[in-house]
Every structure is written in C-alpha cells, then in structure tokens.
C-alpha cells in the first residue's frame, strides 16, 4: 500500500461522452496544494509551478466503472482542494426587433412609386387595396408598430392621402425644391407638400443624382429646407456598380453622408431625419445586397454618424435599406440590427407584396440567432488565416497564408485603436501560435519556426513531412501546452491524394503523429474547454469530427459532429470553442460562421459576413467577448469582428511552453523527430534575407522599420536593432503580469491580485515572467 495516498474522482464532461471513453479522463480542474505551492493536475502529470518537479513522488490515473477519472497522489502532507465548476448556459437572446426597440428606433417601411401608375384611377385603386390591408393588420395585429409611408408622384399626393386617411399610413413626396417660392417651373415647395398632408420627403435619391446631376451640395440644401419646414427628410446615399466593384463603398457613402448633413443639428438628425442606403447597382435590377453586405454598410454609416455627432445620435437615427427589397428578402434583412426599415421600389406598386414587406415576420422560435460581422482591419489578405489572441499583449496575430505575411493588431478600448503591423515572410505560412516565452510559432512551407518578436530572430525548429509535397496548415496549442498542427496537400485540388498527417509538438520537443489516418486539408483544429475533446475536419469531406483527446497519446473515438447540408456551398475551415463548449466554425464559401452544439451538431447561431469566405476565428478583447474572423480574397481579405451576445465569451488562448529547455533567442531547440527528418539545431542553411518588414506598408499601418538585410549565422535568422523599435504593446508581454482569465476553466479572475480562480480553484498564472 502506497503511503500518504490521497484519492479523488472527477466525472468527465458528460455521461454520453464518458461512457464511450477508452482511456481515463484527464483531470484538469483539481488543484493539489503541497508545501504552500499550488500544483495544477492537468494531464496525469502534475506540474508544479513554484516547486521543483522532483519533490513529487507518485502519480497514477485509473478509470472506475462510472468512467470517471481517479487521481492517486503520493506526496507528504498533500491534500486536495476541489470546487465544482458551473457553466452557465446562455438563454436565447432577445430578437432583433426587441434590440431595436430597446434603442427606440421604430421600423420605417416606405414605398416609392416613382413615376407610377399611369392614371388617377390606378392610383386610387392601388391606394384602396393598400388601405384594406392596413385595416386588416390593425384588426389582426393590435401590437403592429411599423411606420408605413407611401410616396406617390406629386400629382397623386392628395388622392392617395384621401384614400389612406384613417389608416396608420403616412404620405411622402419624391422631391422638393430648396426654395419656398419663386419662378421655378415644374417644381414644388415644402409649403405645397405640407398642405397635402405630406410627412416625409426624399432627398438625394440615386435617380435624382444620376439623371438630374444633383450634387451633394444641392441635396444638402433640400435636406435643410425640409427640416426648416417641419417635415422629415429621407436622405438617400449609395454607390454605383462601378464604385462597388472598385471597393469604394465606404468612401462614397461617407462623402455623401458628410456633405448631405452639413449644417444639420444633432437634434434634427436624431428626431426627424432618416437615412436610406441604396446600393445603386441593386436598384431596379432585381439584384440585392446580401443581408450581411447591407448590415456591414449600415453599421459603417452609423459609425460615421457617431464620429460626426455622438454615440447617442448614432444610436437613435434610423437607417433604411433600399436595394430591390422583396417579400422574399425582407425577413432576413430585418434581422440585421442596424437596418431599421426599407425603402421599397417596384414591390410597393403591388399592394399584396408591399403588405407582406411591412408586415415582415421575425424568425420562428428555435431559429438560430443571427449576428453580423463588420470589418475592423482592411488588411487585404490574399488568404487570411490562423487568428489568435494574446491576452498578455492584448493583441491579435494572424497570417496571410498565400500572401506570405504575419500580421498583428491591438484593438484598444474606447474610440481609438492601434495601427496594424505586417511582417513579410519568405514563403507560404499556414499558422501562428503563442508561446509563454513571448515568441511565436510559425508553420511555414519548409517547416516549423520559432520567431522572437523582441529580438527579431527566426529559427527553424524542424522540417515538416519531407519529402512529401505538404506544409503545415491549421494549428493550435492544446489546453495542456502542446502545439497540434495538421497538414495540407499542396496538390490536393489536382490529385485528391490523402497524404497529410496530424502532428503534436510536445513541450519536451518530441514531435508525435496523433491521428491514425491521412487526409488532404486539415482544418477546425480546436479543443473543448476541459481539453479532453478535439475537433478536426478534412475540409473537402465537408464533415467535422470530434475525438477524445489524450494529451499523451493518439486521438480516439471519432464521432460526427456536423456535416454541411447540400444547400450550403464551400466547406468547414478554421474553428474555435467558447467557454460553454460550443463550436464556432468558419464556413468558407458560404459567407458565415456557425455556432454548433457539440453533441447534436445543431446550429444555434449564425454570424453573417459580407464576403464569401471566412477562414478562421477566435475570441479576443479584454473580456474575450468579441469573435474575430479572418477572410480571404478576392472579395474579402480583411479582419472582421462581431460582439457576442451577453453570456457568450471565449477562453484565453493557451500558449506553448518548452518544458526542459531554457528556451530563448540564442538557445537550440531540443532534439525530436518528425518522420525521417530531425530537429534542425540551428543548422538550417537558409541564408535568404527575410523577416524584414514589407517593402510596401499599407496606408494607415504602423511601420516597423526592420532592416532590409538579414544575416544567417548557424541557421539563426537575425535582425539588426539599428532601426526604429516596435511599438511598446508588441513587446510588453515579455514582462511579468498576471493572466486575467483562469487557464483551466476560463473564468475571469475577480480582482487584479487574486491568487486562485473562484470557480475551479486553479492557481493564477503569471504570463511571460515565470
């Protein structure tokens, strides 16, 4: 019998998965206190962060009949401190209409008849049918709270107003002259419109701009004239097809908005004025911007107003969408949080269609929640990938795979953010990962490299799957400090060959293949909060699998989590899990990221993007409540983000740590194996100059002036320090600081000085200074 044995048992994630495990569940949320030091029992090998490992004597993991892990520890005067970790599942969030109501923005649906119909008789009939629909809705839906506006041609204004009297509908005019009276043949004044019961007036409609050459200055005069009369202008802005295809959407909308609002007070903008975004390329063509495209522009318009006026004004102003809205498209458009109604063209000429539009339906109960991502860094990556969040540096790192670049950006709190930084790499890069030392791991075409951000030194650690025509692709650090990276067959689109492997770089330097079959294109590498489940896909198969993850062995117990429906194009790309264990998967080619329930595969939320191919995602920000998403060209390439609903956030990104080596910029990596190749002990004879800053720094970036010439000595690619140093935030992570989140359960520490997690009892980890 072993002396001083202390025994405890922890049930694994859930009964369903536990029942099928063939190896002992790994304890990750128990702490061992020994001699005043907290020991984290993570993998069956207890790691002592403050005491020497040799003070530990015996550790064993066994499995009992309930498939729970039992930990035996033989330590003098040892005892276990255990606290149950509760994971609070978020309830279904409020619907988009409720969110919009909380912001006090009433939905406005306006029908612009343009130069239709042909006669007073037809106008009266159209109005009568619409009035009948409005009366029916008033009876059947007493809570109906949508503002309906009909905008007929000027000769029919009084007729339509008479027919619609007694309903909730209001009348709008298609145009107005900025002067109140005078010799202006064919024009109408605000006074004339008011006498006919008009409430709204269009200003700056694309057809007035294009056909009658109305400038922003003329539009601004009309806006101010309408406001002065007490009426409400609907200021129309939007880009042409040529401007859209040239990527000038934001530039055009910003210019038209700023010049159209010259001299408009915050009070008038907040209480009277409405903005209508109309992508000109979609008007009258039957084309429509996707809801994600529309939302991204609406969000940008609101941000411009916030900059021009204030957050309160920006939050109050109503923004309509006006791009060939139909009954078939309106329901999804109205799920967008920044779309407050529609300016409807052709569909408003048919009473039945317009009625279906202004009586749009909210998503049925049980439908996935819709979220919409906006671009935050227009970095223009050819293939953005592998985004990770460094808690210590409060910064994001990601790569442009085909564009051969490493990116970094620090989103600051408040209104300002730092400028992004780019390093040019010598070859295709698949992934980036964090290290506790403050260095990065890079998976390049020729192998895995260590990159010292502070010294500017890159060292090749190992080749990768030579002599195969593969490279590292998707990779993440697991919850136990090892780096797991999958392969990519460079020719898989031509030969379809399954030749790549899934590898784990352990802290002791050993490289281990952990999957018992080969594949073409690895993706979705991520881990459950407790680290006991790993997710993986071979993208061309369009299926995502979960595996039992043994940090000391191979993957086992493969089971299907999700398969893309045939109606959805593309395939699963990068993925990440949140603190509740749900899986967020980028569906490249489908313009969305989905949140999956890990046991059933049910889609619980959808993040829509205005670009075709999201590629990778992770949680970041001070509270880990923002999902950051990389994308690829040709229509994408920027970094996007979306704020999570209350109750959903991520877990701090794990970091790789060498266990037996004082790993620094001048020290060799430990020896290990990867197939037939051995670790490159600084013997990589690559002498090319690389890791220098890109010769072309995109507008708005911080320029990190690294030298143009890089020398190679014994395989170390060194960078001179004779140039401007990097921003302080990029290197500040090398000083000791306490982690804000528990490394075991992801719970936020309650105070800056807390030593242990209040949820699971784990010791607080000190980053970069241990």
- Pull the structure tokens for residue 123: 């106008």
Both structure tokens of 52: 């020497």
Q: Is 473 annotated as a binding residue?
A: yes
- The reply, when asked if residue 64 is annotated as ligand binding, is no
Between strands 170-173 and 147-151, the pairing is parallel
**459 annotated as belonging to a binding site for a ligand:** no
Tally of residues, the chain? 770
d(CA 216, CA 256): 6
Cα–Cα dist 453/719, whole Å? 10
Q: Are residues 347 and 283 in contact, defined by beta-carbon separation less than 8 angstroms?
A: no
Reduce the DSSP state of residue 763 to 3 states and report it. strand
> b/e for 619-629, b at 16 or more Cβ within 10 A?
bbbeebbbbbb
Q: State the DSSP code for 692.
A: P
Can you tell me whether residue 259 is helix, strand or coil? helix
- The catalytically annotated residue of 573, 578, 625, 684 is 573
Q: How many helices (H) and strands (E) does the chain have?
A: 16, 46
Which are the contacts of 695, defined by CB distance < 8 A and separation ≥ 6? 424
CB 206 within 8 A of CB 237: no
Neighbouring C-beta atoms of residue 570, cutoff 10 Å: 18
β-strand partners of 513: 503
**In 3D, which of 610, 562, 565 has the Cα closest to residue 583?**
562
Rounded to 5 degrees, φ, ψ at 339 are -100, 115
| CB environment 269-291: b (16+ within 10 A), e (fewer) | bbebbbbbbbbbbbbeeeebbbb
The tokens for 714 are 């014994």
Distance set, CA 605 to CA 363, 546, 608 (Å): 12, 19, 10
Nearest CA to 578 out of 613, 620, 542 is that of: 620
DSSP code string of 414-478: SS--PPPEEEE-SS-EEEEEEBTTS-EEEEETTEEEEEETTTTEEEEEE--STTSSEEEEEEEE-
Report the C-alpha gap between 143 and 135 in whole angstroms.
13
147 is in an annotated binding site: no
- Distances in whole angstroms, Cα of residue 698 to Cα of each of 46, 293, 419: 47, 24, 10
Place of tokens 């099928």: 20
The H-assigned helical ranges of 116-273 are 120-140, 157-164, 190-195, 206-211, 216-229, 241-245, 249-260, 266-271
Q: What angle do CA 363, 365, 369 make, to 5 degrees?
A: 60
DSSP string, 545-575: EEEE--TTS--EEEEEEEE--TTS-SEEEEE
Any bridge partners for residue 416, and if so which?
none
CA distances from 541 to 564, 591, 712 (A): 9, 19, 42
Catalytic, 573? Answer: yes
Binding-site residue positions: 385, 471, 473, 523, 573
Binding-site residue ranges for substrate: 471, 473
- Residues annotated as catalytic are 573
Residues annotated in the binding site for a divalent metal cation, as ranges?
385, 523, 573
């Amino acid at each position: 019998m072993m002396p001083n044995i202390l025994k405890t048992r922890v049930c694994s994630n859930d009964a369903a998965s536990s029942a099928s495990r063939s190896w002992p569940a790994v304890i990750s949320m128990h702490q061992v206190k020994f001699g005043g030091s907290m020991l984290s029992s993570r993998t069956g090998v207890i790691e002592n962060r403050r005491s020497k490992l040799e003070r530990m004597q015996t550790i064993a993991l066994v499995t009992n009949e309930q498939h729970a892990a039992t930990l035996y520890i033989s330590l003098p005067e040892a005892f276990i401190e255990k606290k149950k970790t509760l994971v609070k599942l978020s309830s279904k969030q409020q619907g988009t209409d409720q969110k919009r109501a909380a912001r006090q923005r009433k939905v406005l649906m306006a029908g612009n008849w343009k130069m239709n119909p042909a006669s007073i008789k037809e106008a009266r009939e159209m109005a009568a049918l619409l009035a009948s629909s409005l009366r029916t809705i008033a009876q059947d839906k007493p809570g109906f709270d949508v503002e309906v506006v009909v905008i007929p041609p000027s000769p029919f204004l009084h007729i339509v107003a008479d027919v619609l009297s007694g309903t909730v509908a209001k009348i709008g005019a298609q145009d107005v002259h900025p002067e109140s009276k005078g010799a202006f043949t064919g024009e109408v004044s605000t006074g004339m419109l008011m006498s006919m019961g008009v409430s709204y007036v269009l200003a700056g409609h694309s057809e007035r701009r294009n056909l009658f050459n109305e400038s922003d200055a003329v539009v601004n005069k009309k806006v101010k004239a309408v406001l002065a009369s007490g009426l409400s202008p609907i200021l129309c802005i939007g880009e042409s097809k040529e401007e859209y295809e040239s990527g000038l959407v934001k530039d055009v909308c910003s210019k038209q908005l700023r010049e159209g609002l010259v001299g408009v007070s915050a009070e008038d903008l907040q209480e009277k004025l409405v903005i209508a975004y109309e992508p000109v390329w979609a008007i009258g063509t039957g084309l429509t911007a996707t809801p994600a495209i529309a939302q991204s522009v609406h969000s940008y318009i609101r941000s411009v107003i916030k900059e021009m006026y204030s957050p309160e004004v920006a939050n109050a102003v109503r923004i309509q969408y006006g791009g060939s809205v139909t009954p078939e498209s309106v329901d999804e458009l109205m799920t967008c949080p920044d779309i407050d109604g529609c300016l409807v063209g052709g569909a408003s000429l048919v009473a039945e269609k317009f009625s279906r539009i202004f009586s749009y339906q909210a998503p049925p109960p049980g439908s996935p929640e819709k979220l919409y991502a906006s671009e935050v860094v227009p970095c223009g990556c050819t293939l953005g990938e592998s985004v990770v969040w460094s808690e210590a540096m409060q910064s994001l790192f990601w790569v442009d795979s085909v564009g051969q670049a490493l990116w970094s950006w620090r989103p600051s709190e408040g209104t300002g953010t730092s400028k992004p930084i780019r390093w040019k790499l010598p070859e295709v890069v698949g992934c980036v990962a964090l290290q506790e030392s403050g260095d990065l791991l890079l998976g390049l075409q020729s192998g895995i490299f260590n990159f010292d951000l502070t010294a500017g030194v890159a060292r090749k650690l190992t080749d990768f799957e030579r002599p195969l025509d593969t490279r590292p692709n998707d990779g993440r650090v697991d919850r136990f400090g090892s780096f797991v990276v999958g392969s990519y067959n460079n020719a898989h689109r031509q030969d379809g060959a399954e030749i790549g492997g899934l590898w784990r770089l352990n802290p002791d330097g050993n490289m281990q293949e952990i999957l018992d079959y080969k594949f073409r294109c690895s993706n979705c590498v991520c881990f459950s909060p407790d680290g006991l489940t790993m997710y993986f896909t071979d993208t061309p198969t369009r299926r995502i699998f979960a595996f039992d993850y043994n940090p000391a062995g191979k993957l086992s117990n493969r089971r299907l989590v999700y398969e893309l429906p045939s109606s959805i194009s593309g395939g699963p790309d990068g993925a990440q899990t949140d603190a509740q264990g749900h899986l967020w998967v980028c569906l490249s080619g489908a313009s969305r990221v989905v949140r999956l329930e890990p046991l059933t595969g049910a889609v619980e939320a959808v993040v829509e993007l205005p670009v075709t191919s999201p590629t990778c995602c992770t949680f970041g920000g001070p509270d880990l409540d923002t999902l950051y998403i990389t994308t690829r060209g040709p229509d994408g390439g920027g970094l996007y983000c979306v704020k999570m609903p209350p109750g959903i956030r991520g877990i701090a990104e794990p970091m790789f740590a060498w266990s037996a080596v004082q790993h620094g910029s001048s020290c060799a990596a430990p020896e290990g194996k990867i197939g037939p190749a051995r670790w490159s002990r600084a013997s990589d004879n690559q002498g090319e100059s690389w890791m220098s800053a890109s010769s072309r720094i995109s507008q708005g970036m911080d320029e990190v002036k690294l030298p143009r010439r890089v020398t190679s000595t014994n395989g170390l690619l060194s960078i001179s320090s004779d140039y401007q140093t990097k921003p302080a935030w990029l290197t500040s992570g090398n000083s000791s600081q306490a982690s804000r989140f528990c490394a075991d359960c992801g719970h936020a520490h309650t105070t800056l000085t807390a030593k242990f997690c209040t949820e699971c009892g784990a010791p607080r980890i000190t980053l970069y200074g241990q």
